[in-house]
Structure 1
């Protein structure tokens, strides 16, 4: 059983989600505003948060950012009627792990929840540390350093970087990355992969700039239509 926070102002949707999720064995707290969501997150830990972006009191993206800060270990899935790609990207960059656009099938939501909760926060490799140039990925401690400077990553960002670091110089397909980092039975959009990859690149670049001594991180090359490759050199 997982502890879920549902943030949804629509009484019809919330009234279906709460009993439906309870029927599948989850403990559910349903709130209808951004402020109530932040209050709930300040008083209890949740395994997963379902967040509607169209809230009546606060901007949903800002609530997403604040929930991520308050619940760094929780999975955050945004529910949105906004179909424009930029809106989805902004939500993911604000800290969400995944998204579903309305209307969605309850079966699909359940599958996404199971996938996220099943994955948890696993170490992608059995090796205690992966080294690619001056980048060190410590899978036991879940820490990444570049020539001794720590690179701060969210959970999925860490898993994604570690997966590429397992096979430097090898092309890893989008399907394999989604399977290994998210779930083998994943279905739906893979836009979340692109957003997380962009975040990993930014964080590596930030670490380079922080050092300011010419240290370079391994480059992650996009293979159009196929996947990604970490350049060992």
Structure 2
């Protein structure tokens, strides 16, 4: 498996490279954002590891540019910025996972294995889920209510797909984190609530039938009969 690590701290880059190489991966290093983007777009990699704070071009910018051409490659963000806002910015740019510094190499390796497992098992379903006047196309990964197309970010779509595949069930925040992002942030952030709010504004505002409901003290439920 070929991995590109875009990291400007030589010591950390070296530690990551040695650890992943020992785990059987073929690792390339880019010391700045511009070089990282050039390598990511000109060569074939199976996974990208991007530091957010980089000279030349930051990791969020790299991620956005990569996603314009490749929506499938797994991307992990590395950063010392662990606030909810920074987590959301990284994930909204198209990252699949987020790991805060400092971290143990074993944790990074575990995250990589999880992402690669999800990538390998990501068979494209050939159907459309319809709930009330909502249609979610699992092939094109789009959604609409009635005749109105709903513009979703990649993370918002993954959240919606998980909800519609688990209708009328109470889903805890931990369940949503584990199934939408394949990770457990467990950092005291409210990232799930923020994304549910984003989705509600696009999905439920101005509609009589509200599909996403809060179950106080427990989590959220996607109700097929609305309110």
The TM-score bracket by the shorter chain reads: 0.7 to 0.9
Alignment of 1:4-153 (within 5 A): 4-120=3-119, 122=122, 128-140=127-139, 142-153=141-152
Are the structure 2 counterparts of residues 9 and 194 from structure 1 closer, same or farther at C-alpha, using a change threshold of 3 Å? Answer: farther
Alignment counterpart, residue 189 of structure 1, candidates 169, 186, 189 = 186
Checking the alignment, whether the CA contact within 8 Å between 1:45 and 1:71 is kept in structure 2 is no
d(CA) in 2 for partners of 1:32 and 1:9?
A: 5
1:176-223, Cα deviation, whole Å (9 max, x unpaired): 33444444xx44437564555455445547xx8xxxxx7678532344
- Assess if the C-alpha contact under 8 Å between 1:133 and 1:218 holds in 2: no
Measured in 2, the distance between the counterparts of 1:202 and 1:74 equals 29
Determine the C-alpha separation between the residues in 2 that align with 1:157 and 1:85: 16
Could you tell me which residue of structure 1 aligns to residue 218 of structure 2?
A: 226
Change (3 A) 1:97 1:180: closer
Which piece of structure 1 moves more, 35-44 or 135-144?
A: 135-144
Instruction: For structure 2, list consecutive stretches of 5 or more residues without a partner in the other structure.
Output: none
Note the residue ranges of structure 1 that are not aligned, 5 or more in a row. 209-213
Give the Cα separation in 1 of the matches to 2:4 and 2:51: 11
TM-score between the two structures when normalised by the length of structure 1 = 0.77
SS for the counterpart of 2:54 is coil
How many Å separate the matches in 2 of 1:57 and 1:127? 41
Specify the alignment match of 2:159 in structure 1: 160
C-alpha separation in 1, matches of 2:217 and 2:48: 31
Q: Secondary structure at the residue paired with 1:65?
A: helix
1:140 to 1:68, Cα distance in 2 relative to 1, 3 A: closer
Write out aligned runs for 1:174-213 (5 A). Answer: 174-183=173-182, 186-189=183-186, 193-194=192-193, 196-201=195-200, 204=203
**1:70-102 alpha-carbon deviations (Å, 9 max, x no partner):** 432222211001233322332222322221111
C-alpha contact (below 8 Å) 1:4/1:48 kept by paired residues: yes
Alpha-carbon spacing, 1:59–1:143, altered in 2? closer, same or farther (3 Å): closer
Instruction: Go from structure 1 to structure 2 and tell me whether the alpha carbon gap of 1:220 and 1:48 turns closer, same or farther (over 3 Å shift).
Output: farther
Pairwise CA distance, 1:164: 1.2
CA shift, 1:148, in A, is 4.7
